[in-house]
Amino acid sequence: MAPAVPLSVLDLVPVTTGSTTGEAVRNAIDLARQTESLGYKRYWFAEHHLNPGVAGTSPPLLIGLVASATSRIRVGSGGMQMGHRTPLSVVEEFGLLDAVHPGRLDLGLGRSGGRNFKPAGASPEREPVPERELVKVGKEKDGYAASNGLVIPPRFSFERLLGSPRFALNKQLLQQPGAETPDYGDQVREILALLDGSYRSPEGLGAPVVPGRGADVEVWVLGSSAGDSAAAAGELGLPFAANYHVSPATVLSDQRLPRRFPPVRKTGPALRDRLRRRRGGGRRRHGARPRRRLSQLGAQYPHGGGRH
């Protein structure tokens, strides 16, 4: 029997001490089968590189393996690092997977992977969240917990990490020399246009994406705060998955996003029609969902810790 609250798994495919990559992948397949039998709704794979303890370097390959070993559970990316990918390559990969496993795929899109991040300036240790939503946990350094039990630790500074040689090497090896990553929101819009066939080049040419056009995938936006990713989700009416395992201190800032989202941007007839169907209660082809309250975030949005 499926649980009352939908549960999902985010798998980094860890390579434990003394084990091999092959064992890690087989463990992921076995865990996916077990979670499907227990009624879990989704099984997502994260994308990480140059980490000896993580084998999750290619979500599409892992999705194909797990989708072939299961029959009902939704399988997806959490998420594809768009900093070093093109919309066309992503749509073709998921279009190919959808051709074999139709209607079971989630395409989660992240901003990282070679993108130039600008560290934020001075900021408070913690996102300003209404006190009624927080409960003190342990000592001051332990942080707070939301009303649903989600722990909110003090904020971590990424400046040292982003300026490290390892981070620079990661970008150097992932991207082609001289490549420039487009705006994240533009990449998401291009993916939607390639999927529904509305894409046109500046010269007016269409893109016959086969496989890919018409693929029945749910597109998700991943983010760790109320920044560019969350804004793109709001503009395009897409579901937002909070990256708690990346930045747990800022993950609740999206509770204020409904008041900050601008009106839906009209980027083409096909997208307008799709968004209109979503608001009218019709079929949500790309997985749009009503925005949820803060109290639901821990149960509904995929985040770290393995499952939600």
Looking at residue 201, its pLDDT comes to 94
275 has a pLDDT exceeding 50? no
**CA–CA distance, 179 with 113 (Å, rounded to integer):** 12
Q: Is residue 47 domain-resident? A: yes
**CA–CA distance, 135 with 105 (Å, rounded to integer):** 36
Q: Is residue 146 domain-resident? A: no
Tens digits of residue pLDDT in 28-70: 999 999 999 999 999 999 999 999 999 999 999 999 999 999 9
Q: Is residue 267 domain-resident? A: yes
Q: Is residue 227 domain-resident? A: yes
Q: Is residue 212 domain-resident? A: yes
Tens digits of residue pLDDT in 74-110: 999 999 999 999 999 999 999 999 999 999 999 999 9
**CA–CA distance, 299 with 292 (Å, rounded to integer):** 10
Tens digits of residue pLDDT in 118-157: 444 334 444 445 544 555 555 555 566 666 667 777 777 7
304 pLDDT tier (thresholds 50, 70, 90):
very low
CATH code of the domain containing 116: 3.20.20.30
The mean of the pLDDT values for the chain is 77
Pairing between β-strand 144-146 and β-strand 151-152 as defined by DSSP bridges: antiparallel
222 has a pLDDT exceeding 80? yes
- Is the distance from CB of 207 to CB of 267 less than 8 angstroms? no
Q: Is residue 272 domain-resident? A: yes
Q: Is residue 32 domain-resident? A: yes
Structural domain for 91, as ranges: 8-120+182-300
Task: Count up the domains in the chain and report the number.
Answer: 1
Q: Is residue 271 domain-resident? A: yes
pTM of the model: 0.76
Looking at residue 181, its pLDDT comes to 87
